[in-house]
Amino acid sequence: MRVLSRKTSLAACALTVAALTGAPAQASATSGQAAAGSAKGVPAAAPPARSANWGTPCGPPFVQDDKLLGPLVLPHTSPLSEILAGYRRYGGLIPADFLRRYLNPATNFYRFPPDSGFAHAGGFSNARVLVTQVKLPIGYKVDRFGGETGAFLAPYGTPFPARALPPSNLNNAPGDPHLCNYHVYRVIRPFYVDGGPAAPAFQQPGQGEQFHTIARYIPGAPANPDGEVSIGWLVGNGYLLPLN
């Protein structure tokens, strides 16, 4: 079991990801790196972030008018601009190849990694899952890209490539004012989660810390069919305080 420190920063997250992925330039790259990528073989059909003149940051519009491919315009305001620094959507694939690789035709949604998206020892799929019980202390800041029905968090400011999420997780949610469906919280009542590095997925390196909220760790918490407790329940029952 681990107990986390209250202190965290964008710079620390970026340096951690750089060390884990072996790509130090990625963590410090600016959003201009994506624009330069189109001149280095990134297909025009998969454009990098556009200026606000092209539409609303985090959509609409969406790439090729397909929400699965994420927003055409990415934000240029803090903290999202720092979190998205170095993000190369589709990892160099054209959109059609990206969808062919990761889309489940039966559900018309993405395939996610097994074992709740936690990495495996040595990067081998049949090796030990790198997950342990973690205590989130009072004052610790966490965030997520997604609504409060979900059950995953990350340390505040974790770079987007390190989260290994699909591009659709950046989409604005209808009726939700949070830009890019990005939510920030402070822990106001300590609780336990499953924690460990995210497995590589969706052409992203992963390896950033992720937290999986498990109902059995929290007295009285209701469990969904996967044994998870939602972020919304944690907010409503005094464990998490929304900050944005």
Domain positions in the chain: 2-242
Q: Report residue 91 as tokens.
A: 């990892």
Residue 6: phi and psi, rounded to 5, are: -75, -20
Could you report the per-residue pLDDT of 167-180, keeping only the tens digit for each?
999 999 999 999 99
Measured CA to CA, the distance from residue 233 to residue 244 in angstroms comes to 17
Percent of the chain past pLDDT 90, that is, above it, reads 77
Q: Please state, rounded to an integer, the average pLDDT across all residues of the chain.
A: 85
Could you report the per-residue pLDDT of 90-135, keeping only the tens digit for each?
999 999 999 999 999 999 999 999 999 999 999 999 999 999 999 9
Measured CA to CA, the distance from residue 244 to residue 194 in angstroms comes to 24
Of residues 62 and 38, which shows the higher confidence score?
62
Active site (catalytic) residues: 144, 210
